[in-house]
Amino acid sequence: MKLPESFYRRNDVVTISRELLGKYLFTCINGIVTGGYIVETEAYNGIIDKAAHSYGNRLTHRTKTMYMHGGVAYVYLCYGIHEMFNVVTAVEGEPKAILIRAIQPTDGTDIMLQRRKMNVIKPAITSGPGSVARALGISRDINAISLLSDTLWIEDRGMIIPDEAIAAVPRIGVAYAAEDAQLPYRFYIKGNVYVSKPNK
């Protein structure tokens, strides 16, 4: 069952980020479904979060998608090479989002291998946000698309991740965010091999 808009439109992006673990992310590109369940996320808490693109109410051509109502995709280019897929949350005008950092692939793995130019399934296929987007065929072409669309969506299939199996740690690559870099806004399933940077 696709997650309803009400799931995304809540105000607590940190709670939603944690709850996305174990949910299934799917794309249907050119009639081909690929996907898997989410094992790593990062929350970005809007205008008060120094690590967020929308910090200080920054509104640009790139960030305007973050200001839409929760339940759409925010896809941007990082370092000029990696497409990054984020889930927009909260209500319109509250620019909060969640970066999907890793999934465990379950559907359409043969297509994912082709997209990633790999021969066999190994963790690198969907470990890290750039890898997730490439494996699932997500690009800026579908930026701002609804997460209730038939192109990109997230399902609840009843997987429950117990609290003790979830790590809550600082985010990756946000040293510029001063004290906010230390916030425990990255969540991952402990021991999952697809997690991009498990804390040893």
Walk along the chain (200 residues) and give the pLDDT tens digit of each residue. Answer: 999 999 999 999 999 999 999 999 999 999 999 999 999 999 999 999 999 999 999 999 999 999 999 999 999 998 788 999 999 999 999 999 999 999 999 999 999 999 999 999 999 999 999 999 999 999 999 999 999 999 999 999 999 999 999 999 999 999 999 999 999 999 999 999 999 988 76
| Full residue range of the structural domain in which residue 118 is found | 5-189
Q: What CATH number corresponds to the domain at position 30?
A: 3.10.300.10
Q: For the residues of 121-146, what is the DSSP string, one character each?
A: --GGGSBSHHHHHHHHT--GGGTT-B
pLDDT value at position 80? 80
Three-state secondary-structure class, residue 48: helix
- pTM across the whole model: 0.97
Instruction: Indicate whether 134 belongs to any domain.
Output: yes
- Distance CA(90)–CA(92), nearest Å, equals 7
Domain total for the chain?
Answer: 1
Confirm whether 177 is domain-assigned.
yes
Task: Answer whether residue 195 is part of any domain.
Answer: no
Report the run of H or E that residue 116 belongs to, with start and end.
Answer: helix 109-116
The reply to whether 200 falls in a domain is no
Q: Is residue 163 part of a domain?
A: yes
- 198 domain residue, yes or no: no
Residue at 97 is within a domain: yes
Residue 58 within a domain = yes
